[in-house]
């Protein structure tokens, strides 16, 4: 059993806004080869205001500075891609890559500290589709992706809302990088 009880009032206000533009152009080079060029731009902004107030004996009116924070985050992502596609009756082979630049700026309104992070990625991809006939095919895909940490993971404030899992955000947290290989066989009648 816990030796102490946490008697606090927690308030969290979060707002998020996301805008994205994608442009893709495909140009046939020959009857069997084509090239695809793409560009994406994403502008993401969010605000997370956490307030924790301790009980004073009559009301929840004692601001707990260690557990409170007001954080503003903006992230801009530029991503350009290039694919080469070879396609004949039974086969489709695609190989390509995307280059991505992520600029993230986080402003801690409570402590008036600015954190910024820039991440550049090369995200390769490849795919092979083999059609056995009109009703069967085999697909092999290789994809890569990268995920940026979200605002709650970056915010350097202790979260004690679950006493069994107390967490602290890390403003230096780096993005993840995933590689996936999928093999699918389709057959239908």
Taking a C-beta distance cutoff of 8 angstroms, is the pair 95, 84 a contact? yes
How far are the Cα atoms of 10, 22, 44, 95 from residue 172, in angstroms, in the given order?
Answer: 25, 29, 19, 33
Average pLDDT over residues 43-49: 89
Ranking 10-14, 19-23, 160-164 by mean pLDDT, the lowest is: 160-164
Asked whether residue 171 carries a pLDDT value surpassing 80, the answer given is no
| Residue among 74, 91, 102, 97 nearest 132 (CA) | 91
How far are the Cα atoms of 86, 111, 124, 168 from residue 94, in angstroms, in the given order?
Answer: 6, 49, 11, 43
Q: Which is more confidently placed, 131 or 113?
A: 131
173 forms beta bridges with: none
Mean pLDDT of the chain: 88
Instruction: Please tell me the predicted confidence (pLDDT) of residue 1.
Output: 43
For β-strands 158-159 and 167-168, DSSP reports them as antiparallel
**Ramachandran assignment for 112, one of left (phi > 0), alpha (psi -120 to 50 degrees), beta (any other):** left
Average pLDDT over residues 100-122: 86
Q: How confident is the model at residue 4 (pLDDT cuts 50, 70, 90)?
A: low
Instruction: Please tell me the predicted confidence (pLDDT) of residue 2.
Output: 52
Average pLDDT over residues 27-47: 95
Asked whether residue 5 carries a pLDDT value surpassing 70, the answer given is no
Asked whether residue 131 carries a pLDDT value surpassing 60, the answer given is yes
Write the pLDDT tens digit of every residue in 61-75: 888 887 888 888 899
Instruction: Please tell me the predicted confidence (pLDDT) of residue 17.
Output: 94
Query: Percentage of residues in the chain with pLDDT exceeding 90?
Result: 47
């Amino acid at each position: 059993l816990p030796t102490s009880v946490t008697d606090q009032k927690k308030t969290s206000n979060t707002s998020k806004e996301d805008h994205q533009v994608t442009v893709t152009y495909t140009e046939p080079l020959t009857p069997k080869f084509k090239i695809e060029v793409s560009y994406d731009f994403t502008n993401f902004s969010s605000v997370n205001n956490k307030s924790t107030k301790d009980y004073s004996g009559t009301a929840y009116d004692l601001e707990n500075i260690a557990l409170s924070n007001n954080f503003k985050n903006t992230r801009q992502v530029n991503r350009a891609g290039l694919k080469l596609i070879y396609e004949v009756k039974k086969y489709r082979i695609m190989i390509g890559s995307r280059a991505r630049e992520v600029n993230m700026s986080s402003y801690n309104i409570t402590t008036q500290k600015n954190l910024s992070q820039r991440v550049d990625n090369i995200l390769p991809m490849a795919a092979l589709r083999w059609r056995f006939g009109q009703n069967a095919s085999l697909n092999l895909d290789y994809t890569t992706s990268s995920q940026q940490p979200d605002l709650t993971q970056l915010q350097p404030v202790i979260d004690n809302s679950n006493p069994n899992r107390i967490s602290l955000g890390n403003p230096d947290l780096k993005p993840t990088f995933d590689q996936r290989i999928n093999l699918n066989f389709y057959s239908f009648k």
